[in-house]
Amino acid sequence: MIKLNNVSKVFFPHTPNEVLALNNINLHIKPGDFITVIGSNGAGKTTLLKVISGAETVNEGRLTLAGKDITACPEHERAADIGRIDQNPLAGTAAEMTIEENLALAFLRGKKRGLGQAVNESRRQCFRQALAETRLGLEKRLQAPVGTLSGGQRQALALVMATLALPKLLLLDEHTAALDPQAARQIMALTAHLVQTKNLTTVMITHNMEHALRFGNRLIMMHRGRIILDLAGEEKAQLTVPQLIEKFSAASGEDFADDRVLLETVHQNNVVA
Amino acid sequence: MEMVLISGLQQGLIYGFMALGVLLTFCLLGFPDLTVEGTFPLGAATTATAVMEGFDPIPAVLLGAMAGALAGAATGLMHTKLKVNNILAGILTTSGIYTVMLWAMGRPNISLLNKEDFFTQVLALCGITSGELSLRAMQISIILILFLMVAAARLLLGWFLRTDLGLTIRAAGNNEKMLSALGVDVNQTKLLTLILANFLVGLSGALECQLQGFADVGLGIGVLVAAIASVILGIMLFGRRSLSWLLTGVILGSILYRGLLALGLWLKLPAENFKLVTAVLVLIVLTLPNISVFNKKAAPRSNADALAQQGPIN
């Protein structure tokens, strides 16, 4: 569905701070894929999602979406097909507007906006239904300003907003990382539920190796702007966390360097022991 | 004392259009639009020139408002297309407007003595000959006309800000990145808001010109800080409980502010101090915690507040 051909992205080019964030990336995301992305610090995971969503432009290479070249399309023109959620719960919602107004903005994702009432009874009905799936009781609080919600509730709302208009592709950038463990579990469960019931093609960055293995049908590992591992199907399903770390070392020639990943891995091993 | 009331209401209602415009840009869009200082006299100058050229007052006022909208578009295009900083874009437009006004009027000010004015023409359309009205009846008619116009603007704006298109203005002020990710060209939203807001400011200037019977290139000095003071007054007194209160509140704030000015003049307070007093008062209010209305990013509701209000999450 979406293809990246030889995509490269350089930050601060021609300066001492030059960073090659994406180094000749080739990736074909097929319809129905649920890809988890892991990688060390500064591997280019977030840049990859930003390049796909159009929040960042590429220096080299081409992107095509359903056969159409979108390399030069600005973010707002891709938004009809691509929903994105950031790590920061404040980023995906408008705090001073009500829940229903936020949803009304998402309802017309990528469509022309005219002079019709943004919130009417038929739309409310649809909003309530979508919010009920979060099981957080948000459907009873349509008129509450979003600023009064907790981080977990805001991220749940952001998820509903990203999926309400059924985008072709859903991009999740460590969307549970800033939440407390319980909220993170709820948001992950909601994510899996929405992706499955709405049959969404999804790319999810995570620093949680166990999540990376448990969710999705395909796993990508990134390092220094490159995709160093791309596993799918049976091969991914069989994999364990220690094997994954081993594969990383073998493919990159370095130890896995993301303290958050290691901490969680140690924690999981302790729990198992 | 009666003059205080009449002047406060007339001026307050006229500047109420400007307060609505400033609310749109400064508060809702989060765009500090300095064009206002140029748009206001531009509205007046355009109207005065149009009347001198033989236009009827009603279309002349409309032209004044549209000149304001054009100035807003100039600032908007400078900011969105040429990537000029928002404050600088407004300053550049304002500076350019000064010359445009001198070109149009041919001199720094125009007096419209002995010309039929906007209010007389509106009354004539209603079948009332203003020559037969007492001075007092005329003053009250002007207040009524202005009241109906401001109320209409208030209602239209209230409706518009709740439409799909209007919602994007508030969203752009809240979270620009989110809006872009939802498929809205934020630049277009900014441009639209600036045009709309400066239309209102231009209308304000046009009406002021018709009420005072003259236009002057210096009419805009200090109007922005006055408008901000009105908006703050409105928000402080009538709150931001809802969009409706916000819109009505800033108009009431404008009336109150102009009423206070008129009262100050009546009490023979030295008028040369007013602008400094206003500036200091605005500064004090802006630095008071929790009232800060022009700095929304600095005052997000903390999670702890939200928890205390809503009970346990999850």
Is residue A149 included in any domain, yes or no? no
Range of the domain at A172: 2-94+166-272
User: Is B167 within 8 Å of A91 when comparing Cβ atoms?
Assistant: no
Give the tokens for residue B153. 């603007």
Is residue A141 included in any domain, yes or no? no
User: Is B168 within 8 Å of A113 when comparing Cβ atoms?
Assistant: yes
- pLDDT-derived band at B298 (thresholds 50, 70, 90) equals very low
Which pLDDT value is given to residue A260?
A: 60
B28: closest chain A residue by CA: A96
- The answer to whether the CB of B24 falls within 8 A of the CB of B228 is no
CA angle (A217, A218, A220) in 5-degree steps:
160
Handedness of CA A203, A95, B181, A102 (dihedral sign): positive
Range A231-260 average pLDDT: 82
ipTM (interface pTM): 0.88
Range of the domain at B221: 2-286
Is residue B302 included in any domain, yes or no? no
Q: B174 CB near a chain A CB, below 8 Å?
A: yes
Of A16, A25, A13, A31, nearest to A203 by C-alpha is A31
- Give the nearest partner residue to A153 out of B173, B181, B313, using CB atoms: B313
Output the domain CATH number for residue B129: 1.10.3470
Handedness of CA B281, B217, B150, B193 (dihedral sign): negative
Q: Could you give the angle at which helices A121-132 and A151-163 cross, rounded to 10 degrees?
A: 120
- The answer to whether the CB of B178 falls within 8 A of the CB of A91 is yes
Per DSSP bridges, beta strands A218-223 and A34-39 are parallel
Is residue A181 included in any domain, yes or no? yes
Is residue B300 included in any domain, yes or no? no
- The answer to whether the CB of B57 falls within 8 A of the CB of B210 is yes
Which pLDDT value is given to residue A257?
A: 63
Gap from A222 CA to chain B (nearest CA, Å): 25
State pLDDT tens for residues B22-44.
Answer: 999 999 999 999 999 999 999 99
State pLDDT tens for residues B190-236.
Answer: 999 999 999 999 999 999 999 999 999 999 999 999 999 999 999 88
Which amino acid is present at B203? L
Is residue A113 included in any domain, yes or no? no
Output the domain CATH number for residue A181: 3.40.50.300
The H or E element that residue B109 is part of is strand B109-111
Instruction: Work out how many domains chain A is built from and give that number.
Output: 1
Per DSSP bridges, beta strands A82-85 and A68-69 are unpaired
User: Is B303 within 8 Å of A151 when comparing Cβ atoms?
Assistant: yes
Is residue B70 included in any domain, yes or no? yes
Instruction: Work out how many domains chain B is built from and give that number.
Output: 1
- Give the nearest partner residue to B314 out of A90, A111, A152, using CB atoms: A152
Three-state secondary structure call for residue B114: coil
Is residue A156 included in any domain, yes or no? no
Q: C-alpha B227: how far from its chain's center?
A: 6
Is residue A121 included in any domain, yes or no? no
Is residue B132 included in any domain, yes or no? yes
User: Is B181 within 8 Å of A75 when comparing Cβ atoms?
Assistant: yes
**pLDDT averaged over every residue in chain B:** 90
Q: Would the pLDDT of B291 be above 70?
A: no
Which amino acid is present at A265? T
Which pLDDT value is given to residue B314?
A: 28
- pLDDT-derived band at B122 (thresholds 50, 70, 90) equals very high
- The answer to whether the CB of A215 falls within 8 A of the CB of A192 is yes
Is residue B298 included in any domain, yes or no? no
Is residue B204 included in any domain, yes or no? yes
Q: C-alpha B267: how far from its chain's center?
A: 27
- Residues of chain B in contact with residue A151, where contact means CB-CB under 8 angstroms, are 303
Which pLDDT value is given to residue B304?
A: 34
Q: Would the pLDDT of A97 be above 60?
A: yes
- pLDDT-derived band at A258 (thresholds 50, 70, 90) equals low
- pLDDT-derived band at B119 (thresholds 50, 70, 90) equals very high
- Residues of chain B in contact with residue A113, where contact means CB-CB under 8 angstroms, are 163-165, 167-168, 184
